[in-house]
Amino acid sequence: MASSAEQMAAGLSLGNLGQATELKRRLWFTLGALIVFRFLSFVPLPGIDPIALQQQFNTTKGGVLDFFNMFSGGALERMSVVALGVMPYITASIVVQLATSLSPHMAALKKEGESGRKKLNQYTRYGTVFLTMVQGYFVAVGLESWGAQSGQSAVVEPGMLFRVACVIALVGGTMFLMWLGEQITSRGIGNGVSLIVMAGIVAQLPTVIVQLFEGGRTGTMGPLVILLIIALVVGLIAFICFMERAQRRVQIHYPKRQTARGTMQQDKSFLPLKINTANVIPPIFASSLLLMPLTVAQFAGQQAAGESTFGDIMLAITTNLQHGSLVYMLLYGFGIVFFCFFYTAVVFNPEETADNLKRYGGFIPGIRPGKHTMDYLDYVLTRITVLGAAYLTFICLVPEFAIAQAGIPFYLGGTSLLIVVNVTIDTVTQIQSHMLAHQYGDLLKKSKLKGGRR
Protein backbone atom coordinates (compact mmCIF):
# COMPACT_ATOMS: atom_id res chain seq x y z
CA MET A 1 0.00 0.00 0.00
CA ALA A 2 1.30 3.48 -0.92
CA SER A 3 2.45 5.67 1.92
CA SER A 4 0.63 8.87 2.91
CA ALA A 5 3.42 11.01 1.44
CA GLU A 6 3.14 9.22 -1.90
CA GLN A 7 -0.64 9.65 -1.86
CA MET A 8 -0.20 13.36 -1.15
CA ALA A 9 2.24 13.74 -4.05
CA ALA A 10 -0.17 11.95 -6.36
CA GLY A 11 -2.98 14.19 -5.19
CA LEU A 12 -1.12 17.30 -6.35
CA SER A 13 -1.32 16.33 -10.03
CA LEU A 14 -3.56 18.37 -12.28
CA GLY A 15 -5.56 15.24 -12.99
CA ASN A 16 -7.12 15.51 -9.53
CA LEU A 17 -8.05 19.15 -10.03
CA GLY A 18 -11.57 18.13 -11.02
CA GLN A 19 -12.16 16.64 -7.57
CA ALA A 20 -11.27 19.86 -5.72
CA THR A 21 -14.63 21.63 -5.91
CA GLU A 22 -13.58 24.62 -3.78
CA LEU A 23 -10.43 25.15 -5.85
CA LYS A 24 -12.36 24.97 -9.11
CA ARG A 25 -14.81 27.56 -7.82
CA ARG A 26 -11.96 29.89 -6.90
CA LEU A 27 -10.26 29.43 -10.28
CA TRP A 28 -13.47 30.15 -12.19
CA PHE A 29 -14.10 33.23 -10.06
CA THR A 30 -10.57 34.53 -10.72
CA LEU A 31 -10.88 33.90 -14.45
CA GLY A 32 -14.28 35.60 -14.57
CA ALA A 33 -12.99 38.65 -12.67
CA LEU A 34 -10.04 39.04 -15.04
CA ILE A 35 -12.37 38.77 -18.04
CA VAL A 36 -14.51 41.56 -16.55
CA PHE A 37 -11.34 43.66 -16.22
CA ARG A 38 -10.46 43.08 -19.87
CA PHE A 39 -13.98 44.03 -20.98
CA LEU A 40 -13.81 47.25 -18.97
CA SER A 41 -10.54 48.19 -20.67
CA PHE A 42 -12.53 48.59 -23.90
CA VAL A 43 -15.23 50.86 -22.42
CA PRO A 44 -14.21 54.42 -23.44
CA LEU A 45 -14.56 57.61 -21.44
CA PRO A 46 -17.53 59.80 -22.42
CA GLY A 47 -16.80 62.44 -25.05
CA ILE A 48 -13.67 60.82 -26.56
CA ASP A 49 -12.91 60.68 -30.30
CA PRO A 50 -11.21 57.25 -30.62
CA ILE A 51 -9.66 57.89 -34.06
CA ALA A 52 -8.06 61.20 -33.07
CA LEU A 53 -6.96 59.67 -29.76
CA GLN A 54 -5.20 56.78 -31.51
CA GLN A 55 -3.41 59.18 -33.86
CA GLN A 56 -2.20 61.29 -30.96
CA PHE A 57 -1.14 58.29 -28.88
CA ASN A 58 0.97 56.98 -31.75
CA THR A 59 3.11 60.13 -31.52
CA THR A 60 4.15 59.24 -27.94
CA LYS A 61 5.26 55.66 -28.61
CA GLY A 62 8.07 54.63 -26.30
CA GLY A 63 7.38 57.42 -23.81
CA VAL A 64 6.04 57.38 -20.30
CA LEU A 65 2.44 57.02 -21.47
CA ASP A 66 3.34 53.85 -23.35
CA PHE A 67 4.96 52.47 -20.20
CA PHE A 68 1.84 53.32 -18.17
CA ASN A 69 -0.23 51.73 -20.93
CA MET A 70 1.62 48.45 -20.33
CA PHE A 71 0.41 48.25 -16.72
CA SER A 72 -3.17 49.15 -17.68
CA GLY A 73 -3.39 46.47 -20.37
CA GLY A 74 -3.90 48.96 -23.20
CA ALA A 75 -6.69 50.78 -21.33
CA LEU A 76 -4.80 54.09 -21.37
CA GLU A 77 -4.31 53.89 -25.13
CA ARG A 78 -8.07 53.52 -25.54
CA MET A 79 -8.81 55.98 -22.68
CA SER A 80 -11.22 53.57 -21.06
CA VAL A 81 -12.87 53.99 -17.68
CA VAL A 82 -10.03 51.91 -16.15
CA ALA A 83 -7.28 53.88 -17.92
CA LEU A 84 -5.47 54.59 -14.64
CA GLY A 85 -5.63 50.94 -13.62
CA VAL A 86 -4.77 50.04 -10.03
CA MET A 87 -1.76 52.38 -9.86
CA PRO A 88 -3.54 55.00 -7.66
CA TYR A 89 -4.51 52.22 -5.24
CA ILE A 90 -0.94 50.93 -5.14
CA THR A 91 0.41 54.44 -4.56
CA ALA A 92 -2.10 55.03 -1.74
CA SER A 93 -1.16 51.73 -0.10
CA ILE A 94 2.52 52.74 -0.27
CA VAL A 95 1.76 56.02 1.50
CA VAL A 96 -0.26 54.25 4.20
CA GLN A 97 2.46 51.64 4.79
CA LEU A 98 5.10 54.35 5.03
CA ALA A 99 2.87 56.22 7.49
CA THR A 100 2.65 53.13 9.73
CA SER A 101 6.45 53.25 10.04
CA LEU A 102 6.69 57.00 10.63
CA SER A 103 3.54 57.92 12.56
CA PRO A 104 3.00 56.57 16.11
CA HIS A 105 -0.78 56.83 15.64
CA MET A 106 -0.70 54.75 12.43
CA ALA A 107 1.70 52.27 14.01
CA ALA A 108 -0.73 51.84 16.93
CA LEU A 109 -3.56 51.15 14.47
CA LYS A 110 -1.47 48.46 12.81
CA LYS A 111 -1.04 46.68 16.16
CA GLU A 112 -4.77 46.68 16.93
CA GLY A 113 -5.40 43.58 14.84
CA GLU A 114 -8.45 43.23 12.60
CA SER A 115 -10.04 46.55 13.61
CA GLY A 116 -6.80 48.43 12.95
CA ARG A 117 -6.38 46.71 9.59
CA LYS A 118 -9.89 47.77 8.54
CA LYS A 119 -9.11 51.35 9.53
CA LEU A 120 -5.88 51.34 7.50
CA ASN A 121 -7.73 49.87 4.51
CA GLN A 122 -10.25 52.70 4.83
CA TYR A 123 -7.45 55.26 4.74
CA THR A 124 -6.04 53.51 1.66
CA ARG A 125 -9.41 53.78 -0.10
CA TYR A 126 -9.71 57.49 0.73
CA GLY A 127 -6.20 58.03 -0.61
CA THR A 128 -7.07 56.11 -3.78
CA VAL A 129 -10.08 58.36 -4.44
CA PHE A 130 -8.01 61.51 -3.88
CA LEU A 131 -5.12 60.43 -6.12
CA THR A 132 -7.48 59.26 -8.87
CA MET A 133 -9.31 62.58 -8.80
CA VAL A 134 -6.03 64.50 -9.13
CA GLN A 135 -4.72 62.31 -11.94
CA GLY A 136 -8.13 62.19 -13.62
CA TYR A 137 -8.41 65.98 -13.69
CA PHE A 138 -4.98 66.40 -15.30
CA VAL A 139 -5.78 63.63 -17.78
CA ALA A 140 -9.02 65.41 -18.75
CA VAL A 141 -7.27 68.78 -19.12
CA GLY A 142 -4.46 67.20 -21.10
CA LEU A 143 -6.87 65.39 -23.41
CA GLU A 144 -8.59 68.68 -24.26
CA SER A 145 -5.33 70.23 -25.46
CA TRP A 146 -3.81 67.04 -26.89
CA GLY A 147 -3.61 67.66 -30.62
CA ALA A 148 -5.65 70.88 -30.45
CA GLN A 149 -2.89 72.81 -32.25
CA SER A 150 -3.04 70.42 -35.20
CA GLY A 151 -6.84 70.56 -35.27
CA GLN A 152 -7.32 66.95 -34.11
CA SER A 153 -8.52 67.15 -30.54
CA ALA A 154 -9.20 63.84 -28.83
CA VAL A 155 -12.20 65.41 -27.03
CA VAL A 156 -15.44 66.01 -28.93
CA GLU A 157 -16.74 68.85 -26.71
CA PRO A 158 -14.09 70.26 -24.32
CA GLY A 159 -15.25 72.04 -21.20
CA MET A 160 -16.01 71.66 -17.54
CA LEU A 161 -18.75 69.09 -18.19
CA PHE A 162 -16.26 66.80 -19.92
CA ARG A 163 -13.74 67.24 -17.09
CA VAL A 164 -16.28 66.35 -14.41
CA ALA A 165 -17.54 63.34 -16.38
CA CYS A 166 -13.97 62.18 -17.00
CA VAL A 167 -12.99 62.41 -13.33
CA ILE A 168 -16.15 60.61 -12.18
CA ALA A 169 -15.66 57.82 -14.73
CA LEU A 170 -11.98 57.34 -13.86
CA VAL A 171 -12.67 57.33 -10.11
CA GLY A 172 -15.45 54.78 -10.61
CA GLY A 173 -13.26 52.57 -12.81
CA THR A 174 -10.29 52.60 -10.43
CA MET A 175 -12.44 51.95 -7.36
CA PHE A 176 -14.16 49.07 -9.14
CA LEU A 177 -10.77 47.54 -10.01
CA MET A 178 -9.69 47.99 -6.39
CA TRP A 179 -12.83 46.16 -5.22
CA LEU A 180 -12.33 43.50 -7.90
CA GLY A 181 -8.76 42.90 -6.72
CA GLU A 182 -9.91 42.52 -3.12
CA GLN A 183 -12.58 40.03 -4.21
CA ILE A 184 -10.01 37.98 -6.14
CA THR A 185 -7.75 37.88 -3.07
CA SER A 186 -10.54 36.73 -0.74
CA ARG A 187 -12.68 34.56 -3.05
CA GLY A 188 -10.25 33.60 -5.81
CA ILE A 189 -6.64 32.47 -6.17
CA GLY A 190 -3.58 34.68 -5.74
CA ASN A 191 -3.12 38.37 -4.99
CA GLY A 192 -5.89 40.23 -6.81
CA VAL A 193 -4.04 43.48 -7.53
CA SER A 194 -0.94 41.66 -8.80
CA LEU A 195 -3.11 39.43 -11.02
CA ILE A 196 -4.81 42.48 -12.54
CA VAL A 197 -1.42 44.05 -13.32
CA MET A 198 -0.20 40.75 -14.78
CA ALA A 199 -3.36 40.32 -16.86
CA GLY A 200 -2.80 43.75 -18.39
CA ILE A 201 0.77 42.84 -19.37
CA VAL A 202 -0.10 39.37 -20.69
CA ALA A 203 -2.95 40.79 -22.78
CA GLN A 204 -0.42 42.88 -24.75
CA LEU A 205 2.14 40.10 -25.28
CA PRO A 206 0.51 38.45 -28.36
CA THR A 207 0.43 41.78 -30.20
CA VAL A 208 4.06 42.50 -29.29
CA ILE A 209 5.21 39.06 -30.42
CA VAL A 210 3.38 39.48 -33.74
CA GLN A 211 5.00 42.90 -34.21
CA LEU A 212 8.39 41.38 -33.45
CA PHE A 213 8.11 38.73 -36.15
CA GLU A 214 6.48 41.22 -38.51
CA GLY A 215 9.60 43.36 -38.14
CA GLY A 216 11.65 40.36 -39.23
CA ARG A 217 9.40 39.78 -42.24
CA THR A 218 9.56 43.39 -43.41
CA GLY A 219 13.30 43.65 -42.82
CA THR A 220 13.19 46.34 -40.14
CA MET A 221 14.68 43.84 -37.69
CA GLY A 222 17.29 41.24 -38.57
CA PRO A 223 16.82 37.52 -37.85
CA LEU A 224 19.87 37.53 -35.56
CA VAL A 225 18.36 40.34 -33.47
CA ILE A 226 15.09 38.41 -33.12
CA LEU A 227 16.97 35.29 -32.01
CA LEU A 228 18.94 37.32 -29.48
CA ILE A 229 15.72 38.80 -28.09
CA ILE A 230 14.15 35.34 -27.75
CA ALA A 231 17.30 34.01 -26.06
CA LEU A 232 17.34 37.02 -23.72
CA VAL A 233 13.69 36.48 -22.74
CA VAL A 234 14.18 32.74 -22.13
CA GLY A 235 17.34 33.41 -20.13
CA LEU A 236 15.64 36.07 -18.02
CA ILE A 237 12.70 33.76 -17.25
CA ALA A 238 15.06 30.94 -16.21
CA PHE A 239 17.13 33.31 -14.06
CA ILE A 240 14.01 34.77 -12.40
CA CYS A 241 12.67 31.30 -11.61
CA PHE A 242 16.02 30.29 -10.09
CA MET A 243 16.34 33.41 -7.93
CA GLU A 244 12.73 33.28 -6.75
CA ARG A 245 13.29 29.75 -5.46
CA ALA A 246 16.65 30.57 -3.83
CA GLN A 247 16.68 30.43 -0.03
CA ARG A 248 19.04 30.89 2.87
CA ARG A 249 18.17 28.14 5.35
CA VAL A 250 18.92 28.90 9.00
CA GLN A 251 19.20 25.70 11.04
CA ILE A 252 16.97 25.55 14.13
CA HIS A 253 17.46 23.04 16.98
CA TYR A 254 14.89 22.11 19.61
CA PRO A 255 15.59 20.55 23.03
CA LYS A 256 16.00 16.81 23.31
CA ARG A 257 12.84 14.89 24.08
CA GLN A 258 12.16 11.31 25.04
CA THR A 259 10.71 9.06 22.36
CA ALA A 260 8.33 6.12 22.81
CA ARG A 261 11.31 3.72 22.99
CA GLY A 262 12.87 5.67 25.83
CA THR A 263 15.72 7.22 23.81
CA MET A 264 16.57 10.93 23.72
CA GLN A 265 16.17 12.65 20.35
CA GLN A 266 16.86 16.23 19.29
CA ASP A 267 14.58 17.82 16.68
CA LYS A 268 16.05 19.85 13.85
CA SER A 269 14.37 22.11 11.35
CA PHE A 270 15.16 25.02 9.05
CA LEU A 271 13.97 28.62 8.90
CA PRO A 272 13.81 29.39 5.15
CA LEU A 273 14.66 33.00 4.25
CA LYS A 274 14.02 33.86 0.61
CA ILE A 275 16.69 35.80 -1.24
CA ASN A 276 13.90 37.98 -2.65
CA THR A 277 11.62 38.29 0.35
CA ALA A 278 9.82 41.32 -1.10
CA ASN A 279 8.78 39.35 -4.20
CA VAL A 280 7.45 41.56 -7.03
CA ILE A 281 6.38 44.44 -4.76
CA PRO A 282 9.49 46.71 -5.18
CA PRO A 283 9.28 47.17 -8.99
CA ILE A 284 5.49 47.64 -8.84
CA PHE A 285 5.76 50.20 -6.04
CA ALA A 286 8.68 52.02 -7.68
CA SER A 287 6.84 52.11 -11.03
CA SER A 288 3.69 53.38 -9.39
CA LEU A 289 5.45 56.23 -7.59
CA LEU A 290 7.24 57.26 -10.79
CA LEU A 291 4.27 56.94 -13.12
CA MET A 292 1.82 58.97 -11.06
CA PRO A 293 3.74 62.31 -11.16
CA LEU A 294 4.99 61.61 -14.68
CA THR A 295 1.44 61.12 -15.96
CA VAL A 296 0.36 64.40 -14.37
CA ALA A 297 3.43 66.16 -15.80
CA GLN A 298 2.82 64.68 -19.25
CA PHE A 299 -0.76 65.92 -19.56
CA ALA A 300 -0.22 69.18 -17.63
CA GLY A 301 2.80 70.00 -19.77
CA GLN A 302 0.82 69.45 -22.97
CA GLN A 303 -1.94 71.73 -21.76
CA ALA A 304 0.33 74.61 -20.65
CA ALA A 305 3.30 74.21 -22.98
CA GLY A 306 4.79 77.58 -23.85
CA GLU A 307 2.10 79.45 -21.92
CA SER A 308 3.76 79.57 -18.49
CA THR A 309 6.81 78.56 -16.53
CA PHE A 310 4.78 75.73 -14.99
CA GLY A 311 4.10 74.22 -18.40
CA ASP A 312 7.76 74.45 -19.38
CA ILE A 313 8.78 72.75 -16.12
CA MET A 314 6.29 69.93 -16.69
CA LEU A 315 7.59 69.38 -20.22
CA ALA A 316 11.18 69.41 -18.94
CA ILE A 317 10.27 66.72 -16.38
CA THR A 318 8.69 64.44 -18.97
CA THR A 319 11.59 65.01 -21.39
CA ASN A 320 14.30 64.15 -18.86
CA LEU A 321 12.38 61.23 -17.38
CA GLN A 322 11.58 59.40 -20.59
CA HIS A 323 11.70 55.62 -20.43
CA GLY A 324 15.32 54.51 -20.79
CA SER A 325 16.86 57.86 -19.81
CA LEU A 326 19.64 58.00 -17.23
CA VAL A 327 17.61 59.99 -14.68
CA TYR A 328 14.65 57.63 -15.01
CA MET A 329 16.86 54.58 -14.56
CA LEU A 330 18.54 56.07 -11.47
CA LEU A 331 15.23 56.96 -9.81
CA TYR A 332 13.72 53.61 -10.75
CA GLY A 333 16.72 51.71 -9.38
CA PHE A 334 16.72 53.72 -6.15
CA GLY A 335 12.99 53.04 -5.71
CA ILE A 336 13.49 49.29 -6.21
CA VAL A 337 16.29 49.12 -3.64
CA PHE A 338 14.37 51.23 -1.12
CA PHE A 339 11.14 49.24 -1.36
CA CYS A 340 13.06 45.95 -1.32
CA PHE A 341 14.44 46.77 2.15
CA PHE A 342 11.26 48.50 3.30
CA TYR A 343 8.86 45.70 2.36
CA THR A 344 11.21 43.03 3.71
CA ALA A 345 11.16 44.83 7.06
CA VAL A 346 7.35 44.90 6.89
CA VAL A 347 6.81 41.19 6.19
CA PHE A 348 9.60 39.75 8.39
CA ASN A 349 10.18 40.83 11.99
CA PRO A 350 13.42 39.37 13.46
CA GLU A 351 12.44 40.34 17.00
CA GLU A 352 9.09 38.53 16.78
CA THR A 353 10.71 35.47 15.19
CA ALA A 354 13.39 35.34 17.92
CA ASP A 355 10.72 35.59 20.63
CA ASN A 356 8.71 32.76 19.08
CA LEU A 357 11.79 30.53 18.89
CA LYS A 358 12.60 31.25 22.54
CA ARG A 359 9.01 30.57 23.60
CA TYR A 360 9.02 27.10 21.98
CA GLY A 361 12.55 26.23 23.09
CA GLY A 362 14.15 26.57 19.66
CA PHE A 363 17.62 28.00 19.15
CA ILE A 364 20.21 28.55 16.44
CA PRO A 365 23.42 26.53 17.06
CA GLY A 366 26.12 28.81 18.45
CA ILE A 367 23.69 31.72 19.01
CA ARG A 368 22.17 32.56 22.38
CA PRO A 369 18.34 32.88 22.46
CA GLY A 370 16.68 36.28 22.70
CA LYS A 371 18.42 39.45 21.55
CA HIS A 372 21.46 37.64 20.11
CA THR A 373 19.15 35.53 17.93
CA MET A 374 17.32 38.66 16.82
CA ASP A 375 20.62 40.37 15.90
CA TYR A 376 21.79 37.30 14.00
CA LEU A 377 18.55 37.01 12.01
CA ASP A 378 18.66 40.72 11.24
CA TYR A 379 22.27 40.36 10.08
CA VAL A 380 21.47 37.40 7.80
CA LEU A 381 18.33 39.05 6.45
CA THR A 382 20.18 42.28 5.64
CA ARG A 383 22.87 40.40 3.73
CA ILE A 384 20.46 38.37 1.62
CA THR A 385 18.25 41.45 1.02
CA VAL A 386 21.29 43.21 -0.47
CA LEU A 387 21.60 40.29 -2.89
CA GLY A 388 17.86 40.33 -3.58
CA ALA A 389 17.86 44.09 -4.22
CA ALA A 390 20.82 43.74 -6.60
CA TYR A 391 19.00 40.93 -8.45
CA LEU A 392 15.79 42.97 -8.82
CA THR A 393 17.69 46.06 -9.94
CA PHE A 394 19.61 44.06 -12.53
CA ILE A 395 16.50 42.33 -13.85
CA CYS A 396 14.51 45.57 -14.12
CA LEU A 397 17.17 48.01 -15.34
CA VAL A 398 19.67 46.24 -17.61
CA PRO A 399 17.13 44.67 -20.04
CA GLU A 400 14.99 47.84 -19.95
CA PHE A 401 17.98 50.00 -20.89
CA ALA A 402 19.01 47.64 -23.71
CA ILE A 403 15.44 47.49 -25.03
CA ALA A 404 15.06 51.28 -24.86
CA GLN A 405 18.26 51.73 -26.86
CA ALA A 406 17.26 49.11 -29.45
CA GLY A 407 13.70 50.43 -29.83
CA ILE A 408 12.10 47.09 -28.92
CA PRO A 409 8.72 47.13 -27.10
CA PHE A 410 9.38 46.98 -23.35
CA TYR A 411 6.58 44.46 -22.85
CA LEU A 412 9.44 41.97 -23.30
CA GLY A 413 11.60 43.79 -20.76
CA GLY A 414 12.75 42.71 -17.33
CA THR A 415 10.03 44.49 -15.33
CA SER A 416 7.14 42.94 -17.24
CA LEU A 417 8.73 39.47 -17.26
CA LEU A 418 9.49 39.73 -13.54
CA ILE A 419 5.87 40.58 -12.74
CA VAL A 420 4.46 37.84 -14.97
CA VAL A 421 6.81 35.10 -13.70
CA ASN A 422 6.49 36.09 -10.02
CA VAL A 423 2.70 36.30 -10.06
CA THR A 424 2.51 33.01 -11.96
CA ILE A 425 4.77 31.26 -9.42
CA ASP A 426 2.76 32.68 -6.52
CA THR A 427 -0.55 31.63 -8.09
CA VAL A 428 0.68 28.10 -8.87
CA THR A 429 1.97 27.79 -5.29
CA GLN A 430 -1.44 28.75 -3.92
CA ILE A 431 -3.13 26.26 -6.25
CA GLN A 432 -0.82 23.53 -4.96
CA SER A 433 -1.61 24.53 -1.37
CA HIS A 434 -5.36 24.24 -2.02
CA MET A 435 -4.88 20.84 -3.69
CA LEU A 436 -2.72 19.71 -0.77
CA ALA A 437 -5.41 20.78 1.71
CA HIS A 438 -8.01 18.94 -0.36
CA GLN A 439 -5.85 15.79 -0.35
CA TYR A 440 -5.43 16.01 3.42
CA GLY A 441 -9.20 16.25 3.76
CA ASP A 442 -9.66 13.11 1.65
CA LEU A 443 -7.11 11.19 3.74
CA LEU A 444 -8.82 12.24 6.97
CA LYS A 445 -12.19 11.10 5.63
CA LYS A 446 -10.73 7.74 4.60
CA SER A 447 -9.08 7.25 8.00
CA LYS A 448 -12.38 8.04 9.77
CA LEU A 449 -14.24 5.57 7.58
CA LYS A 450 -11.70 2.84 8.32
CA GLY A 451 -11.84 3.63 12.02
CA GLY A 452 -15.63 3.43 11.96
CA ARG A 453 -15.59 -0.02 10.32
CA ARG A 454 -13.30 -1.31 13.00
- Looking at residue 19, its pLDDT comes to 66
**Residue 32 above 90 pLDDT?**
yes
CA distance 335 to 285: 8
**Residue 26 above 80 pLDDT?**
yes
Q: Which of 360, 325, 305, 397 is nearest to 62 (CA)?
A: 325
With contact defined as beta carbons under 8 Å apart, do 377 and 385 qualify? no
pLDDT tens digits, 121-146? 899 999 999 999 988 888 888 787 77
pLDDT tens digits, 254-293? 776 655 565 555 677 888 888 888 888 888 888 877 777 7
Single-letter amino acid code for the residue at 82:
V
**DSSP track, 377-431:** HHHHHHHHHHHHHHHHHHHHHHHHHHHHHHT--GGGSHHHHHHHHHHHHHHHHHH
- Positive or negative: CA dihedral 108, 110, 116, 121: positive
Backbone angles phi, psi at 273, to 5 degrees: -115, 115
Looking at the chain, the whole-number percentage of residues with pLDDT higher than 90 is 15
**DSSP track, 38-88:** HHHTTSBPTTB-HHHHHHHHHTTTTSHHHHHHHHTTTHHHHTBTTTTTTHH
pLDDT tens digits, 326-358? 778 888 889 899 989 988 888 888 888 888 888
Exposed, middle or buried by CB within 10 Å (0-12, 13-18, 19+), for 283? buried
Average pLDDT over residues 223-244: 85
- Looking at residue 4, its pLDDT comes to 40
- Looking at residue 206, its pLDDT comes to 80
pLDDT tens digits, 139-166? 888 787 776 666 677 788 888 898 899 9
CA distance 291 to 314: 14
CA distance 170 to 173: 5
With contact defined as beta carbons under 8 Å apart, do 400 and 415 qualify? yes
Looking at 45-59, 150-164, 248-262, 295-309, which range is the least confident one?
295-309
Single-letter amino acid code for the residue at 115:
S
**Residue 183 above 90 pLDDT?**
yes
For the structural domain made of 11-448, what CATH number should be given?
Answer: 1.10.3370.10
- Looking at residue 441, its pLDDT comes to 64
**Residue 172 above 90 pLDDT?**
yes
For residue 155, how far is the Cα from the chain centroid? Answer: 32
Average predicted confidence (pLDDT) for the chain: 79
Boundaries of every domain in the chain: 11-448
CA distance 34 to 193: 11
**Residue 94 above 80 pLDDT?**
yes
Q: Which of 89, 87, 68, 88 is nearest to 79 (CA)?
A: 68
- Looking at residue 298, its pLDDT comes to 63
Average pLDDT over residues 90-105: 84
Helices and strands counted in the chain (H then E)? 17, 2
pLDDT: is 126 or 402 the higher one? 126
pLDDT: is 293 or 32 the higher one? 32
- Within 10 Å of residue 419's Cβ, how many Cβ atoms? 24
CA distance 236 to 254: 40
Predicted TM-score (pTM) of the model is 0.79
pLDDT tens digits, 58-84? 766 655 666 677 777 778 788 889 988
pLDDT tens digits, 409-444? 555 667 788 888 888 888 888 888 878 776 766 656
**Residue 3 above 50 pLDDT?**
no
- Looking at residue 133, its pLDDT comes to 92
- Looking at residue 143, its pLDDT comes to 80
Exposed, middle or buried by CB within 10 Å (0-12, 13-18, 19+), for 186? exposed
CA distance 320 to 342: 27
With contact defined as beta carbons under 8 Å apart, do 323 and 262 qualify? no
